[in-house]
Amino acid sequence: MGIFSRLKTLISSNVNDMINKAEKPEKMLNQLLIDMNEQLIESKRAVALAIADEKKLEREMQNQSAQSGEWERKAMLAVQAGKDDLAKEALLRKQEYDRAFAEYQKQWEAQKASVDKLKESLRELQNKIEEAQRKKNLLIARAKRAEAQQKIRNTISSVSGNRTAFDAFDRMAQKVDQMEAEAEAAGELEDLSANASLEKRFAELEKSDSSADLLLQEFKDKMKALPEKSS
């Protein structure tokens, strides 16, 4: 189980520092997955070595069992041949292999139990890494959305806090109002000037016509006063 403890220690020792320094969540998550997969490969190698040791113990155990069976067969041959001394020697050798078999069996069973646990832990680790891979894109999308929202808030806050810009707009609005008022006043003055000129022209015209009528009437009266000429 030490290989997985080392993996946990490595990730735990690095992850807090990575999170604190992370400016780009996508980069950090990708690096974490790279580290996890590298440790997964190392863990698989270690588990493979443990499985190889188990297989080796199993072969040795089977070999001891086969040797025990072989000396048992030889003891039977010796008994059948009436050679009890050889049968005793064969049985003593068989006993040695039986003890060795029992020891190898004990070691093999312990190794097999350890390997089974390692395999289960390896499967769990691989499942967690696959789950992390699936979550990565979701976390990156959430991080980008949060970053965009923060930028928007910063922009709004910056604009809202910049009273100079808003004051400039207010002053410009006042200036435009003044320009419009001045333009309307100038227009009214032009209209007044035009009306006054027109009225003056008509007054002069009327004055001119009245004066001519008066002169004509005076001339006619003067002519009537003259004596008539005899023909």
Phi, then psi, of 91 in degrees rounded to 5:
-65, -35
87 and 78 Cβ atoms separated by less than 8 Å: yes
pLDDT on residue 218: 74
pLDDT on residue 1: 45
How many residues make up the chain in this entry? 231
The residue to which tokens 């006054």 are assigned: 196
Q: Alpha helices of 22-83 — where are they, by DSSP H?
A: 25-80
Question: E strand or H helix at 23, and its extent?
Answer: none
CB burial string 39-57: b at 16+ within 10 A, e below? bbeebeebbeebeeebeeb
Where are the strands (E) in the chain, listed by range?
none
User: How far apart (Å, rounded) are the C-alpha atoms in residues 140 and 56?
Assistant: 47
Phi, then psi, of 208 in degrees rounded to 5:
-65, -45
**Each residue's pLDDT tens digit in the chain (231 positions)?**
455 555 555 555 455 555 555 557 778 888 888 888 898 999 999 999 999 999 999 999 999 999 999 999 999 999 999 999 999 999 999 999 999 999 999 999 999 999 999 999 999 989 998 888 888 888 888 878 887 888 888 877 766 665 666 677 778 788 888 888 888 877 777 766 666 676 777 776 666 556 667 767 777 777 777 776 554
For residue 169, the Cα-to-chain-centroid distance in whole angstroms is: 38
pLDDT on residue 223: 78
- What are the sequence ranges of the domains in the chain? 2-161, 166-224
Residue among 107, 131, 118 nearest 57 (CA): 107
pTM tops 0.75, yes or no = no
